Structure 1
Amino acid sequence: MAMNSVHIGLSTPPKPPISHHSSFLSPRPHFYFPKKHPFIHQDSHYKTHKNNIITTPKRISSSMAAAATPSDTNKKPFSVLFVCLGNICRSPAAEGVFTHLVKQKGLDSNFFIDSAGTINYHEGNDADPRMKAASKRRGIEITSLSRPIRPSDFKDFDLILAMDKQNKDDILAAFERWSFRETLPADSYKKVKLMCSYCTKHNETQVPDPYYGGPQGFEKVLDLLEDACESLLESILAENSSSKGS
């Protein structure tokens, strides 16, 4: 398995293997979790080094200015977090696809977009080069670095999208363990949804992990993500438009 060999020196014992489940290989996933649960992650250890994330609110785009009220200009950008297992294939690709789509619409100042993993195994690493190459062929750049999900994500993001059911279960299980959940609305868990729930052209219910598959696996992931992201953006814009009119 290609595992960022630059980080494994002769004096450093190799890490135990991690299984990136792929539906192209086996219907039974196996996940590796470190003894210290990777969900327990301190914000002070996180470095904000993702180039395609809007980190501060900006003025809304000129295309929306005509319909905006004075209070709209100070409205917090809608925040979306994409989550998979290691944050090196599916979720960074989803981040890239959605960011690309938002920028094409001239709405980049209206969104805060990020991605994370349910484990910290690849923390600080670039996205899988095969995923980056497949995305680039479609004109989509992936520039983010892997990081694990952290407690504050439930406060910072309006929507958390899991790539598969196991990811969703792990996110919700972590949320139940974090004591700060008592400070959030009781229905905060509802912001966690499956990515494919937004698909309109495909019948898949999960985005398969392509890590051990061939090139067709990465193309399939991008097909699903492009489908879901288009519908996702339409849904968010429709909801925001509805809330303004109410």
Structure 2
Amino acid sequence: MTMMMMMMMMMRPLHTSRLPSSPYLPFCHNHSPPTSLLAPKPPFLILVPPPKQYPSLLNSYPNQKNRHRQQRPIITAPMASSTPSSTTGEAEAEAETKPFSVLFVCLGNICRSPAAEGVFTDLVKKKGLDFKFKIDSAGTINYHEIKMGPDFKFKIVSDELHFRYHEGNEADPRMRAAAKRRGIQITSMSRPIQPADFRDFDLILAMDKQNKDDILGALERWSFRETLPADTYKKVHLMCSYCKKHDETEVPDPYYGGPQGFEKVLDLLEDACESLLGSILAENNLILDS
């Protein structure tokens, strides 16, 4: 009987519901084996091109051969300055120690303006204030109509012509001799007025009205290409506006005259410079207090 039962069991069909349909027991609820386990692993990396709906990615590597050499640019943020910014007190202290600057201007910078520079320099030295002033002189020769002879006229229309009539020359020897007799030394060298003068000087004094017009004309032209304060024109004044003992409104050019012309110029300049210094000291108390 035992033998018969064994034979019957061998002939009985197996119930398939009791056996898993797949040899992969962990995935018995999925009758198909997972693709990740069945798919062969490629021996190399397959690059899948980006989809066409993202055109910006299509040209990410225009040169595949050398793309490994391309490096991302290094972006650095600006570092904060280790130097602290100037405080208001420091700015005021700097303004207090800055010397008061005066520029005297005539046509050629060989007679009147160097004489004014010499007279004013001598005056402030006698007052013991020379270290509190910056004094210089210049000429408008580049921006004025120059007459050379009775029938020849040359007009400077632009400073780009680089025409320097007296630049680098000493003052007229007649002017230097007349000043020396009064104990005044004139040592300046002729130079033309330049854009920086309108920034560097606190006061610009013209010897006559034509000089003043030329200065303001140069300022107007330069203002289109230079950064100059809007109120720079307020620095420009006539020299004789400071005279107290004389009624002249202009310092005459002695170049074509005799010795008395140079003496007259010095008389006017000494009168104007005395009043000029008093006016500067009255309006700038820091010069005396510092």
Choose the corresponding residue for 1:158, options 198, 202, 205. 202
Report which structure shows greater RCO (CA 8 Å, sep ≥6).
1
Choose the corresponding residue for 2:130, options 108, 126, 144. 108
- Aligned counterparts of 1:104 and 1:243: Cα–Cα separation in 2: 15
Q: What's the counterpart of residue 101 of structure 2?
A: 79
* 1:175/1:181 contact within 8 Å kept: no
State the 4+ residue runs in structure 1 displaced beyond 6 angstroms: 242-245
The residue correspondences of 1:56-205 to structure 2 (distance < 5 A) are 71=93, 75-119=97-141, 120-179=164-223, 183-205=227-249
**Deviation at residue 85 of structure 1 after TM alignment:** 0.2
- Aligned counterparts of 2:195 and 2:230: Cα–Cα separation in 1: 16
**Deviation at residue 135 of structure 1 after TM alignment:** 0.1
Deviations 1:61-102 (A, max 9, x none): xxxxxxxxx938951000000000000000000000000000
Q: Aligned with 1:238: secondary structure?
A: helix
Amino acid at match of 2:211: N
Structure 1 or 2, whichever has the larger Rg, is 2
**Deviation at residue 186 of structure 1 after TM alignment:** 1.8
**Deviation at residue 123 of structure 1 after TM alignment:** 0.3
Q: What's the counterpart of residue 268 of structure 2?
A: 224
Q: What's the counterpart of residue 33 of structure 2?
A: none
Paired positions, count? 176
Deviations 1:29-80 (A, max 9, x none): xxxxxxxxxxxxxxxxxxxxxxxxxxxxxxxxxxxxxxxxx93895100000
* 1:176 to 1:73, Cα distance in 2 relative to 1, 3 A: closer
The residue correspondences of 1:25-40 to structure 2 (distance < 5 A) are none
* 1:85/1:117 contact within 8 Å kept: yes
Alignment gaps of 5+ in structure 1: 1-69
* 1:158/1:191 contact within 8 Å kept: yes
**Deviation at residue 244 of structure 1 after TM alignment:** 9.2
**Deviation at residue 188 of structure 1 after TM alignment:** 1.0
**Deviation at residue 187 of structure 1 after TM alignment:** 1.4
Deviations 1:98-132 (A, max 9, x none): 00000000000000000000013100000000000
- Aligned counterparts of 2:224 and 2:277: Cα–Cα separation in 1: 30
* 2:239/2:250 contact within 8 Å kept: yes
* 2:105/2:206 contact within 8 Å kept: yes
Kindly indicate whether residue 233 of structure 2 is the aligned counterpart of residue 233 of structure 1. Answer: no
Kindly indicate whether residue 249 of structure 2 is the aligned counterpart of residue 208 of structure 1. Answer: no
Q: Percent identity?
A: 81
The residue correspondences of 1:6-17 to structure 2 (distance < 5 A) are none
* 1:133 to 1:243, Cα distance in 2 relative to 1, 3 A: closer
Q: Aligned with 1:123: secondary structure?
A: coil
**Deviation at residue 227 of structure 1 after TM alignment:** 0.2
- Aligned counterparts of 2:285 and 2:119: Cα–Cα separation in 1: 23
- Aligned counterparts of 1:95 and 1:244: Cα–Cα separation in 2: 21
Query: TM-score normalized by structure 1?
Result: 0.68
